[in-house]
Amino acid sequence: MTGGVTDQVLISIEPASGEELWRGPISDVDAAVSAARGAWAGWAALPLTTRIETMRAFANTVRRDAEALAELIAREAGKPLWEARTEVDAVVNKVDISVQAFAERTGKKKLDAGLNASAALRHKPHGVMAVLGPYNFPAHLPNGHIVPALIAGNAVVFKPSEKTPAVGEALVAAFHRAGVPEDVIQCVIGGPEQGKALVAHPGIDGVLFTGSAQAGIAINRKLASNPGKIVALEMGGNNPIVVIDTPRLDDAAALILQSAFTSAGQRCTAARRLIVKESLYDDLMATLIPHARKLMVGDPLGEPQPFMGPVIDNDTADRLMESFVALLTAGGRPLLHMRRTVPDLPYLSPGIIDVTDVPERPDIELFGPLLQVIRVPDLDAGIAEANNTRFGLSASLIGGTPDDYGRFWANIRAGIINWNSPTNGASSKAPFGGIGLSGNHRPAAYYAADYCAYPVASTEMDQPRATIMVGMRP
The per-residue pLDDT for range 414-444, each reduced to its tens digit, is 999 999 999 999 999 999 999 999 999 999 9
Sequence-distant (6+) residues with CB within 8 A of 168 are: 133, 138, 142, 158, 159, 160, 161, 187, 189
| Angstrom distances, CA of residue 127 to CA of 121, 146, 182, 203, 433 | 19, 13, 16, 9, 23
Q: Look at residues 268, 348, 346, 335 and name the one whose alpha carbon lies nearest to residue 307.
A: 348
Average pLDDT value for residue range 235-258: 97
Q: Are 78 and 311 in contact (CB under 8 A)?
A: yes
Average pLDDT value for residue range 106-134: 89
Q: Tell me which residue range forms the domain holding 250.
A: 239-419
The per-residue pLDDT for range 215-233, each reduced to its tens digit, is 999 999 999 999 999 999 9
Distance CA 389, CA 145 (A): 27
**Together in a domain, 306 and 221:** no
Average pLDDT value for residue range 248-275: 98
| Angstrom distances, CA of residue 280 to CA of 248, 259, 283, 336, 442 | 11, 19, 6, 18, 38
pLDDT at position 132, please?
Answer: 98
DSSP codes, 42-55: HHHHS-HHHHHHHH
CATH number at residue 305: 3.40.309.10
Bond preceding residue 362 cis, omega within 30 of 0: no
Distance CA 75, CA 17 (A): 9
Task: Catalogue the active-site residues.
Answer: 234, 268
Average pLDDT value for residue range 117-142: 96
**Together in a domain, 277 and 167:** no
Say if 303 falls within a structural domain: yes
Helix (H, G, I), strand (E, B) or coil at 348: strand
Q: Which residue among 389, 419, 449 closes a domain? A: 419
Q: Report the DSSP pairing between strands 453-460 and 118-125.
A: antiparallel
Average pLDDT value for residue range 363-378: 98
The per-residue pLDDT for range 65-115, each reduced to its tens digit, is 999 999 999 999 999 999 999 999 999 999 999 999 999 999 888 877 766
pLDDT at position 3, please?
Answer: 67
Q: Are 416 and 395 in contact (CB under 8 A)?
A: yes
pLDDT at position 5, please?
Answer: 66
The per-residue pLDDT for range 184-215, each reduced to its tens digit, is 999 999 999 999 999 999 999 999 999 999 99
Query: Burial level of 177, CB count in 10 A (0-12/13-18/19+)?
Result: middle
DSSP secondary structure code for residue 15 in this structure: T
The total domain count for the chain is 2
Sequence-distant (6+) residues with CB within 8 A of 440 are: 216, 220, 231, 232, 233
Say if 157 falls within a structural domain: yes
Average pLDDT value for residue range 154-179: 98
CATH number at residue 126: 3.40.605.10
- Residue 99's identity, in one-letter code, is V
**Together in a domain, 122 and 72:** yes
Stronger pLDDT, 4 or 97, i.e. the higher one: 97
Distance CA 109, CA 101 (A): 15
Q: Are 74 and 168 in contact (CB under 8 A)?
A: no
Say if 427 falls within a structural domain: no
| Angstrom distances, CA of residue 441 to CA of 128, 230, 364, 432 | 21, 12, 20, 10
| CB neighbours of residue 395 within 10 Å | 30
**Together in a domain, 392 and 454:** no
pLDDT at position 95, please?
Answer: 98
Query: What percent of the chain is modeled with pLDDT above 70?
Result: 98
**Together in a domain, 245 and 147:** no
The per-residue pLDDT for range 440-462, each reduced to its tens digit, is 999 999 999 999 999 999 988 88
**Together in a domain, 280 and 174:** no
**Together in a domain, 147 and 275:** no
Say if 425 falls within a structural domain: no
Sequence-distant (6+) residues with CB within 8 A of 7 are: 26
**Together in a domain, 53 and 174:** yes
Say if 465 falls within a structural domain: no
Average pLDDT value for residue range 468-473: 90
**Together in a domain, 349 and 455:** no
| CB neighbours of residue 343 within 10 Å | 6
**Together in a domain, 391 and 443:** no
Say if 471 falls within a structural domain: no
Number of H helices, E strands in the chain: 14, 20
Q: Are 25 and 9 in contact (CB under 8 A)?
A: yes
pLDDT at position 309, please?
Answer: 98
**Together in a domain, 303 and 443:** no
Distance CA 300, CA 266 (A): 14
**Together in a domain, 154 and 299:** no
Average pLDDT value for residue range 18-31: 98
DSSP codes, 257-302: HHHHHGGGG-STT-EEEEEEEHHHHHHHHHHHHHHHHT--B--TT-
**Residues 291, 268, 385, CA angle at the centre, nearest 5°?**
75
